[in-house]
Amino acid sequence: MSGINIWAPPIWVLLQAKDGQIAPSQAAIDAKAVGLDLIAWSRERSGFMTNPHHGGWYYQTLNSIITRESDILVALHVLAKTLASKVSLPTGQARS
């Protein structure tokens, strides 16, 4: 495929709070439907989730349901399994 093949928005664009759970956003579902690969970023920038001002901009669509550090792992699970995203690693490598 020529042109744009990968979309790399922050996590809050790819995920949403739906019925008290972390779920793919409509934008992410639409991007996958047209064949784009997704790369998520901003996981490590959020600070501690137990802080009253946790997440802020980086998790703005999930701030209402993320209350524990382990909730970030749930978000990563949704990204990896539901959206089959590529994961940006601290070393700069990407894995599918």
pLDDT digits (tens, 9 = 90+) for 6-24: 898 888 899 999 999 999 9
Within-domain flag for 94: no
Percentage of the chain with pLDDT > 90? 24
The range of the structural domain enclosing residue 63 comes to: 6-85
What is the total count of domains within the chain?
1
Q: Helix, strand, or coil here: 10?
A: strand
Going by pLDDT thresholds of 50, 70 and 90, the confidence category of residue 52 is low
What backbone torsions phi and psi does residue 80 show, to the nearest 5 degrees?
-75, -40
Within-domain flag for 54: yes
pLDDT at residue 63 is higher than 90: no
Distance CA 72, CA 62 (A): 10
> pTM for the full model?
0.74
Within-domain flag for 14: yes
